[in-house]
Structure 1
Amino acid sequence: MFSWLGRIAMACWRPVSQYARMSKDEGDSLGSVDDTLLWCRDLEKHSYGEFSFTVVQANEVIEDHSQVETGSSGTFVGVYDGHGGPEASRFISDHIFLHLMRIARENGTISEDVLRSAFSATEDGFLSLVRRSCGIKPLIASTGSCCLVGIIWKGTLYVANLGDSRAVIGYLGRSKKIIAEQLTEDHNASMDEVRQELRSLHPDDSHIVVMKHGVWRIKGIIQVSRSIGDAYLKRPEFSLDPSFPRFHLPEPIRRPVLRSDPSIYTRVLCPNDKFLIFASDGLWEHLTNQEAVQIVHNNPRAGIARRLLKSALSEAARKREMRYDDLKKFDKGVRRFFHDDVTVVVIFIDHDLMEKKIPGPELSLRGFIDTIGPSNFSILKGIDAVAKSVD
């Protein structure tokens, strides 16, 4: 039986073929892709194996931006879950990988410090854009984005994160059962440790975290405690006037309320590490880490990101007393009542390829866009040459 919200949304059904971004691999074991707000690349190659990539739109304007970059000795994944609009997530997609490649070339390596510098350069660049634009578009000061980045380079995994998108690794335990390990911290006020951190950083602000409509929010407005953008919560000059009540603060901020320094995790990949799942919080709202890795481990690689997404959306539909087949008939905008934009990237790690050091393709793939181009990973070839001469 449909909920009252479902019955209202039923009235909003309309033809959606104009939004279609279809899979390149229709007719597989998952069936044809008839959710016209869904985009996917079911299986592609990278330097250490294969990957599967999917995105579904729920908002009127998609706020999830994402990319996979593959090179001869590296693989990059970026998931950027925007809020308040698509400007920040789109900016990150256009700039953070280029900053990373430039700074890595300047430093002669990829490291945690290089990742931090790439995040900092991206934040500075977006705040500069806000400064130039806010006179004619003041609400750009309220747009922001979570930012999840992973890079595999020379057998080492680096993961950096702002916000509540999540990276999870599936590895084989001693009993040869697949085990999920979360590699990122959730920077979300729903977490007790995040609220404690905020209170310790703002001891003079009794309203730094507020319970609003049953949800913990920072200043009663936002859930994530770290982001790119959200300039009005970081710099006093970007404070919005009362004509924007949704984003209005009762008093000017005296210090940044949100942070832009990422939490970083480093891991030398070992033979028991089988795959990585990078996804925006729209997936993790409906699937646990262990449920997700079980799905990946127990099913064919082709279309596995789409299978994860379908499992999450089926659960979202079930919570609304619906079927997935009914949910996917709703148009964008209306879909946001049931689930968020969702991005899922599954990276398989084939250790025999890592050991053989077979060069992978140099490709740049953006989520929800059907064009593939060359990747700027090529600028690291000089680093590769130096490293090989040292070896």
Structure 2
Amino acid sequence: MYTYGAHAVTSILRKNEFNKEFTSGSVKSYDSNQLASNDPIEDTRSEAICTLSPGILLAVFDGHGGPACAQVLSKRLFHYIAANLLPLETLDAFIKDDARKELIEAFNDRSDIVGDLKAIYDDSFKKYANKLLQEAINPLQVPEALERAILNLDGPHLYVANIGDCNAVLGALTEENDWHAKKLTKEHNTENLAELKRIWSEHPESEKKTVIKRDRLLGELAPLRSLGDYRYKWPVDILNKVAVPMLGERAIPQNYYTPPYLSAKPDVYYHRLTTKDKFLILASDGLWDMITPYQAVKLVGEHMQGKMFFNPLKLPRKNIPLSDINDLLLHRKERLKSKPKDRNAATHLLRHAVGGTEYGVDHSKLAHLLSLTPDVSRMFRDDITITVVYFDTEYLRQCPA
């Protein structure tokens, strides 16, 4: 059996890492990374700023049954959200401008949509933008327009929209200087009783034993809400006409009587950021299958405190005595024992999630799991995608209560 050495392990873990720093606003920086288990990886991630309104957008997309849907979402969804954040007059000017600029500026964007699909998606988005403008003018749509308007993602306001089984966890420092993990989201799976009750209520009593089977929707799908997955949404006649000729009879799940069975409606959570809130961890369930929210927060918190040792030593003042410099160097040498191996916090989480034990990271375990081929690797773990977002404490301190 072949396993990787320490250098190879680190190269694999750091292959997809990325960091972005900001000069203003509530978000100081973010670290992101991905580790594949499937080939190709089914997860995607996306980060961007809005160009015509304030706001930073960050997302993790956990794909299944292939990477296509998650990839399309990572390219398209932010444009739709950014359009919703525009004031009416700005939206109107944007629609009328033939040479309109992009609504978002994406970071670490490594792929593009092929030509034919791009034209279709652009046309679809133009229709959506026009629809937004028409609905916003209609007095009957005022509540919805107000809801869109307050989703201003900059400043102390944090909104998290969740569909499926990814999670967002907030890392905060208590008055006693201990780390506290606040899970902001709830998974849409069979462990969520409220979600089960919702699905049962939407279908006849006669389907109660078949709509959820083997802890899956219709015995097939683990997440109970998702984007895409038309096989659980479209009427039977459309599936017969469109899907069956391509996929065969398996295109229609067993016990498919009263569609739709699947919703793409997100649960939206709001949190008002305070100076105690230090970072947010967004991650696909591949991470949460391996470590708890508290373990993740503690790891990132310790990483924050140890990361300072990546920077050169700065003397606190001029003309400092040599004896004081010596004391500083001795103190720094002792504290260097806590210096993390990785500068990127998402990579730090990956290393501990995959190779962690109660005594720390076990290199042999980490190397073995990373050396597995995709068909075997999927027996041990899922794709993992992580974004760690750091908040600017001083900026939040100056925000009005």
TM bin, normalised by shorter chain, reads 0.5 to 0.7
Measured at CA, do residues 14 and 311 of structure 1 come closer, stay the same or move farther in structure 2, by a change above 3 Å?
A: closer
Larger relative strand fraction: 1
Counterpart residue type for residue 180 of structure 2? I
Q: Deviations over 1:186-219 (max 9, x none)?
A: 001233332222212223312344443xxx1111
Report the Cα offset of residue 165 of structure 1.
Answer: 0.3
1:314 pairs with 355, 367, 384, which one? 355
The within-5 A match list for 1:74-89 is 74-89=55-70
Which has the larger Rg?
2
2:283 pairs with 263, 279, 282, which one? 279
Name 1:165's counterpart in structure 2: 166
Q: Is the 1:76–1:151 contact (alpha carbons within 8 Å) kept by the matching residues of 2?
A: no
SS at match of 1:309: helix
Q: Is the 2:50–2:82 contact (alpha carbons within 8 Å) kept by the matching residues of 1?
A: no
Name 2:21's counterpart in structure 1: 45
Counterpart residue type for residue 82 of structure 1? G
Mapped pair 1:257 → 2:261:
yes
Q: Is the 1:286–1:315 contact (alpha carbons within 8 Å) kept by the matching residues of 2?
A: no
CA distance in 2, matches of 1:285, 1:334: 17
Structure 1: 5+ residue stretches without partners = 1-9, 16-25, 110-124, 130-149, 358-391
1:94 pairs with 70, 75, 85, which one? 75
Measured at CA, do residues 211 and 32 of structure 1 come closer, stay the same or move farther in structure 2, by a change above 3 Å?
A: closer
TM-score, reference length from structure 1: 0.66
Name 1:35's counterpart in structure 2: 12
Report the Cα offset of residue 356 of structure 1.
Answer: 7.2
Name 2:102's counterpart in structure 1: none
SS at match of 1:228: coil
Counterpart residue type for residue 350 of structure 1? D
Q: Is the 2:203–2:258 contact (alpha carbons within 8 Å) kept by the matching residues of 1?
A: no
SS at match of 1:227: coil
Name 1:370's counterpart in structure 2: none
Larger relative helix fraction: 2
Name 1:379's counterpart in structure 2: none
Measured at CA, do residues 188 and 220 of structure 1 come closer, stay the same or move farther in structure 2, by a change above 3 Å?
A: same
SS at match of 2:12: coil
Q: How many residues align?
A: 293
Name 1:292's counterpart in structure 2: 296
RMSD of equivalent CA atoms: 3.6
Q: Percent identity?
A: 28
Following TM superposition, the consecutive aligned residue runs of length 4 or more in structure 1 with deviations greater than 6 angstroms are none
Name 2:220's counterpart in structure 1: 221
Name 1:367's counterpart in structure 2: none
Counterpart residue type for residue 387 of structure 2? V
CA distance in 1, matches of 2:272, 2:356: 34
SS at match of 1:159: strand
Report the Cα offset of residue 267 of structure 1.
Answer: 1.7
Q: Is the 1:75–1:151 contact (alpha carbons within 8 Å) kept by the matching residues of 2?
A: no
SS at match of 1:337: coil
Name 2:110's counterpart in structure 1: none
CA distance in 2, matches of 1:108, 1:155: 25
Measured at CA, do residues 315 and 192 of structure 1 come closer, stay the same or move farther in structure 2, by a change above 3 Å?
A: farther
Counterpart residue type for residue 12 of structure 2? D
Structure 2: 5+ residue stretches without partners = 91-116, 122-150, 308-342
Name 2:208's counterpart in structure 1: 206
Report the Cα offset of residue 221 of structure 1.
Answer: 0.5
TM-score, reference length from structure 2: 0.64
